Chain A
């Protein structure tokens, strides 16, 4: 394929990100272009329609559906309080009177003379959309939301669970190949984002939850621990809505895999600063990766950073092998043969040569490497 290459994960000290903050349905925007916002600033608000509760009045009153209008006390669009009488019959003897009371507070949405049904709707719920990152409102989408722009350091992970949150970045380990152990977590990490190294276990996750740590960033975990954490076997990598007590981001993959040195060094350099993180992952067309955004403050933050567009894999590019048997190894491209080569499976594929830091080289299918992006 002449036009494609394996897109990699961005790990960069300085970039400009734009994040669209869009309401699920039309509402009002609370900020203006140029406003400075923080991660927890409400930028837009919408009213989510309330729950609908159907009641079959005809059945409950023992009448034909087309007669219900004669029995209604509340009409379409009327407001109702919980236990208000919605409909009643008018028997000759009071003793036989049946009253149908509203199970909710809200309003009468509709009345059907075909089914004998009345639909009640609860009051709308207000939804406030937060800024997610510290930055500036770059664009307002009327009634829909805003785009927030921030100059920041950016680390994309490969997989995450849990939604958006923010907190101070803390290093839990000293080196990228160390595992993050439960005893390395302490009460001072409450509300913070803790960075581990190569691995963290189920026990570490349990401890993090107990301490109120809002985010964990680590090289890898075991699938069985993920299953235990979620309570089910994750089938498809579409995440972001899980509620497990913290947001988890894997930078490398599943297993014990040292965090890429560049990623670890970048996060270490920003320890103590505030980071916005999201575990939302969508591995389909239109990929969404989990991310760690560390906004830069000060005047330099206002200058935009030119985004470079990658043309393809080039000699010297830092790459990560993303398939066994060398999964997780990091090196640089040292050869780009154009012809197809037979690999041990007997498939003939395009390959490239990677040189590892110890000087050894190996040939890997191009599909099995990932460029580590970002200057």
Chain B
């Protein structure tokens, strides 16, 4: 998906881009950043934020945008606004470089983002393809209906009626195949007379991207009841997925219909000099760009208050999922419900009774904007974040898969291997980079806290680099990259990405204290650190992003670093603000079940890397 494929709201500006203002209208906060060209490169210079104003009493998203930009004006001394208008272009040519900006771009997830319902014929084939298409377009999928989803027809109709999506994506059938099932689904949708979430006067946008032979019938059934648009089949043949046309159509309809209904968006679209993108779609663009530019596999995560988005690019294939109810404030209680108390408690380095913990989590849910004041509260939030991250990745793995239902060629060598189709694409051993974003990761008091949260949640294998988004500006850069790739790349490299460091984690398990591997780390100053990494050890070496170290590990017989059990391993790695971490805790990571032993183990790990202030 690229912006070039979208229908632009306005034409690209012809003047040079030296000053850029970008906003992201989130569900609670609108964040604005200012980017300025300093010498030959673009830098992010100021940042402002204000509450989002989609809801009553303001019901105009642009109020929050103007407030956030006004904060930038205060901080930077630059005049950007003339009443309710953004001054463009910058007035440097008129001798007033501190007046105006050259371009304004924005993303949005306000008002709950883009909520979609998708339909398919076979749940784990066209149903999943439709889900992937919608997720990739930045939507939250509120339900997947399929002919074989186990629900009775009247239950499906009731479900369609009670949900109030912003848009429906219909898929089903391969081109030239049977039309009956997909037409049947169209009949259910027509009978349910679905109504859009915002506004009662316009017809619900519906993208049909199923068997093209059924288009005339679908048009007959739904043409008058919905704002129907056709896109190429997302599964033209069983063996191939074709998601881009449906995604682009979703973006067009998002701008043309959905955004027009949300309060103040007409004004916002007019204010912006490039099409408004759904926030997750913009983050997806950035993730794809990094993976492509560096030729790497990556996982990106944006853990917010209400939802956690996971993005991955493996072997060039992009996937995104959103775990709609895993988050650190509004949805914090749901993390407890889904993960269970024991899974959260296993990361807490002290004892606390269940009732107190449960009450504290619920109190955070009802007062989501509060922040941990004491260290134990911070540690509890970090424990919950680990579980939210872990669960969101499990969800992602289940959807980021190869195509299901595809016939596979088997050779004699496959006789003993019962591989099924639809295997997950996420291979942690092939993972090069984890990018973290969202308040709990971006604003952790110590960067090592972000690093260890992600390592504990994802349990990366072998060598993996970790980074965080410094102040949550990936959405801004995502939409900016569709207008000016250089500006987005400059800011991304210099101001957005904070490289935390590299984690090296051998695969295998052993008793606490047993030898896991012998290591030799040749540090940039010529010094060589040698020693034994025992099971249960965490070792941290100071190494910056600009520095290189050569690491040699000789694992014990049953331990693997990707080269095979017991095989020696040498790799040159870079560091980051945290450094180089050797993780000898074993994979899969196991924690003692007995409480005192668990607390002792956690305390040892946390002290080894200086996770929290001493004496905690």
Interface residues of A (CB under 8 A from B): 1-4, 6, 25-26, 49, 51-54, 65, 109-110, 112, 114-115, 117, 119, 121, 158-159, 222-224, 226, 232-237, 253-255, 281, 283-286, 322-325, 327, 343-347, 349, 364-365, 367-368, 370
Chain B interface residue count, CB cutoff 8 Å, equals: 70
Establish whether residues B153 and A1, one from each chain, have CB atoms under 8 Å apart when the complex forms. no
Give the distance in Å from the alpha carbon of A25 to the alpha carbon of B366 in the complex. 31
Q: Which of A224, A233, A346 contacts B355 (CB 8 A)?
A: A224
Q: A110-B191, A365-B373 are in contact. List 19 more A-B contacts (CB 8 A).
A: A3-B50, A54-B157, A54-B188, A109-B191, A112-B187, A119-B191, A222-B358, A224-B358, A235-B331, A235-B333, A237-B333, A284-B27, A284-B28, A323-B370, A323-B372, A324-B377, A325-B373, A345-B372, A365-B371
Q: With A119-B187, A253-B363 as given contacts, are A236 and B325 in contact (CB-CB < 8 Å)? A: yes
Establish whether residues B445 and A367, one from each chain, have CB atoms under 8 Å apart when the complex forms. no
Establish whether residues A235 and B184, one from each chain, have CB atoms under 8 Å apart when the complex forms. no
Q: Which of A3, A52, A65 contacts B191 (CB 8 A)?
A: A52
Interface residues of B (CB under 8 A from A): 27-28, 49-52, 54-56, 67, 70-71, 74, 110-112, 153-154, 157-158, 179-180, 183-184, 187-188, 190-193, 195, 200, 217, 221, 306, 325, 330-331, 333-334, 336-338, 354-356, 358-375, 377-378, 443, 445-446, 613
Q: How far is the CB of A330 from chain B (nearest CB, A)?
A: 15
Q: List the A residue with the shortest CB-CB distance to B110.
A: A285
Q: With A117-B187, A235-B338 as given contacts, are A345 and B330 in contact (CB-CB < 8 Å)? A: no
Q: Which of A224, A233, A286, A368 contacts B370 (CB 8 A)?
A: A368
Establish whether residues B74 and A223, one from each chain, have CB atoms under 8 Å apart when the complex forms. no
Q: Which of B112, B365, B369, B374 contacts A345 (CB 8 A)?
A: B374
Q: List the B residue with the shortest CB-CB distance to A327.
A: B363
Q: With A4-B50, A346-B613, A365-B373 as given contacts, are A237 and B355 in contact (CB-CB < 8 Å)? A: no
Establish whether residues A368 and B180, one from each chain, have CB atoms under 8 Å apart when the complex forms. no
Most chain A C-beta atoms within 10 Å of own C-beta, residue among B188, B330, B354: B330
Establish whether residues A283 and B330, one from each chain, have CB atoms under 8 Å apart when the complex forms. yes
Q: How far is the CB of A342 from chain B (nearest CB, A)?
A: 9
Give the distance in Å from the alpha carbon of A51 to the alpha carbon of B154 in the complex. 7
Q: With A285-B52, A285-B110 as given contacts, are A65 and B180 in contact (CB-CB < 8 Å)? A: yes
Establish whether residues B333 and A234, one from each chain, have CB atoms under 8 Å apart when the complex forms. yes
Give the distance in Å from the alpha carbon of A106 to the alpha carbon of B360 in the complex. 52
Give the distance in Å from the alpha carbon of A367 to the alpha carbon of B330 in the complex. 15
Establish whether residues B361 and A223, one from each chain, have CB atoms under 8 Å apart when the complex forms. yes
Q: List the B residue with the shortest CB-CB distance to A370.
A: B367
Establish whether residues B370 and A322, one from each chain, have CB atoms under 8 Å apart when the complex forms. yes
Q: With A254-B359, A325-B373, A344-B375 as given contacts, are A110 and B180 in contact (CB-CB < 8 Å)? A: no
Give the distance in Å from the alpha carbon of A349 to the alpha carbon of B52 in the complex. 21
Q: Which of A4, A25, A325 contacts B374 (CB 8 A)?
A: A325
Establish whether residues B154 and A52, one from each chain, have CB atoms under 8 Å apart when the complex forms. yes
Give the distance in Å from the alpha carbon of A236 to the alpha carbon of B365 in the complex. 7
Establish whether residues B368 and A283, one from each chain, have CB atoms under 8 Å apart when the complex forms. yes
Give the distance in Å from the alpha carbon of A343 to the alpha carbon of B110 in the complex. 31
Give the distance in Å from the alpha carbon of A254 to the alpha carbon of B361 in the complex. 9
Q: With A109-B191, A253-B367, A324-B377 as given contacts, are A236 and B331 in contact (CB-CB < 8 Å)? A: yes
Give the distance in Å from the alpha carbon of A347 to the alpha carbon of B378 in the complex. 10
Establish whether residues A222 and B359, one from each chain, have CB atoms under 8 Å apart when the complex forms. yes
Q: Write out the residue numbers on chain A whose beta carbons fall within 8 Å of the beta carbon of B330.
A: 236-237, 283-284
> What are 26 A-B contacts defined by CB distance under 8 Å?
A3-B50, A52-B154, A54-B153, A54-B188, A54-B191, A109-B191, A115-B184, A117-B184, A117-B187, A222-B359, A223-B358, A223-B362, A234-B333, A234-B362, A253-B367, A255-B356, A281-B366, A284-B27, A285-B52, A322-B363, A324-B373, A345-B373, A345-B445, A365-B373, A367-B371, A368-B373
Q: Write out the residue numbers on chain A whose beta carbons fall within 8 Å of the beta carbon of B377.
A: 323-324, 345
Q: Write out the residue numbers on chain A whose beta carbons fall within 8 Å of the beta carbon of B221.
A: 112
Q: List the A residue with the shortest CB-CB distance to B153.
A: A54
Q: Write out the residue numbers on chain B whose beta carbons fall within 8 Å of the beta carbon of A52.
A: 154, 157, 191-192
Establish whether residues B367 and A286, one from each chain, have CB atoms under 8 Å apart when the complex forms. no
Q: How far is the CB of B370 from chain A (nearest CB, A)?
A: 4
Give the distance in Å from the alpha carbon of A159 to the alpha carbon of B112 in the complex. 21
Q: How far is the CB of B505 from chain A (nearest CB, A)?
A: 27
Q: Write out the residue numbers on chain B whose beta carbons fall within 8 Å of the beta carbon of A323.
A: 363-364, 367, 370-373, 377
Q: Write out the residue numbers on chain B whose beta carbons fall within 8 Å of the beta carbon of A232.
A: 337
Q: Write out the residue numbers on chain B whose beta carbons fall within 8 Å of the beta carbon of A117.
A: 184, 187
Establish whether residues B195 and A25, one from each chain, have CB atoms under 8 Å apart when the complex forms. yes
Q: Write out the residue numbers on chain A whose beta carbons fall within 8 Å of the beta carbon of B195.
A: 25
Establish whether residues B331 and A346, one from each chain, have CB atoms under 8 Å apart when the complex forms. no
Q: With A235-B334, A236-B333, A253-B366 as given contacts, are A1 and B50 in contact (CB-CB < 8 Å)? A: yes
Q: Write out the residue numbers on chain A whose beta carbons fall within 8 Å of the beta carbon of B179.
A: 114
Q: Which of B51, B55, B157, B362 contacts A4 (CB 8 A)?
A: B51
Q: Write out the residue numbers on chain B whose beta carbons fall within 8 Å of the beta carbon of A110.
A: 187, 190-191
Give the distance in Å from the alpha carbon of A370 to the alpha carbon of B374 in the complex. 18
Establish whether residues B371 and A368, one from each chain, have CB atoms under 8 Å apart when the complex forms. yes
Q: How far is the CB of B189 from chain A (nearest CB, A)?
A: 11
Q: With A54-B153, A115-B187, A117-B187 as given contacts, are A1 and B71 in contact (CB-CB < 8 Å)? A: yes
Q: How far is the CB of B241 from chain A (nearest CB, A)?
A: 26
Give the distance in Å from the alpha carbon of A360 to the alpha carbon of B275 in the complex. 54
Q: Write out the residue numbers on chain B whose beta carbons fall within 8 Å of the beta carbon of A159.
A: 366
Q: With A2-B74, A253-B366 as given contacts, are A49 and B193 in contact (CB-CB < 8 Å)? A: yes
Give the distance in Å from the alpha carbon of A365 to the alpha carbon of B378 in the complex. 14
Q: With A65-B180, A236-B331, A236-B333 as given contacts, are A345 and B375 in contact (CB-CB < 8 Å)? A: yes
Q: How far is the CB of B50 from chain A (nearest CB, A)?
A: 5
Q: How far is the CB of B581 from chain A (nearest CB, A)?
A: 20
Give the distance in Å from the alpha carbon of A367 to the alpha carbon of B363 in the complex. 14
Establish whether residues B336 and A233, one from each chain, have CB atoms under 8 Å apart when the complex forms. yes
Establish whether residues A349 and B371, one from each chain, have CB atoms under 8 Å apart when the complex forms. yes
Establish whether residues A286 and B55, one from each chain, have CB atoms under 8 Å apart when the complex forms. yes
Establish whether residues B54 and A254, one from each chain, have CB atoms under 8 Å apart when the complex forms. no
Give the distance in Å from the alpha carbon of A124 to the alpha carbon of B49 in the complex. 48
Most chain A C-beta atoms within 10 Å of own C-beta, residue among B28, B191, B193, B360: B191
Q: How far is the CB of B578 from chain A (nearest CB, A)?
A: 15
Q: List the B residue with the shortest CB-CB distance to A223.
A: B358
Q: How far is the CB of A106 from chain B (nearest CB, A)?
A: 12
Q: Write out the residue numbers on chain A whose beta carbons fall within 8 Å of the beta carbon of B74.
A: 2
Q: With A1-B50, A349-B371 as given contacts, are A283 and B365 in contact (CB-CB < 8 Å)? A: yes
Establish whether residues B359 and A2, one from each chain, have CB atoms under 8 Å apart when the complex forms. no
Q: How far is the CB of A322 from chain B (nearest CB, A)?
A: 5
Establish whether residues B55 and A285, one from each chain, have CB atoms under 8 Å apart when the complex forms. yes
Q: Write out the residue numbers on chain B whose beta carbons fall within 8 Å of the beta carbon of A158.
A: 366-367
Q: Write out the residue numbers on chain B whose beta carbons fall within 8 Å of the beta carbon of A49.
A: 193
Q: Write out the residue numbers on chain B whose beta carbons fall within 8 Å of the beta carbon of A324.
A: 360, 363, 373-374, 377
Q: Write out the residue numbers on chain B whose beta carbons fall within 8 Å of the beta carbon of A224.
A: 354-355, 358
Q: Write out the residue numbers on chain B whose beta carbons fall within 8 Å of the beta carbon of A4.
A: 50-51
In the A-B complex, the 5 residue pairs with the closest CB atoms: A235-B334, A286-B55, A233-B337, A346-B445, A223-B358
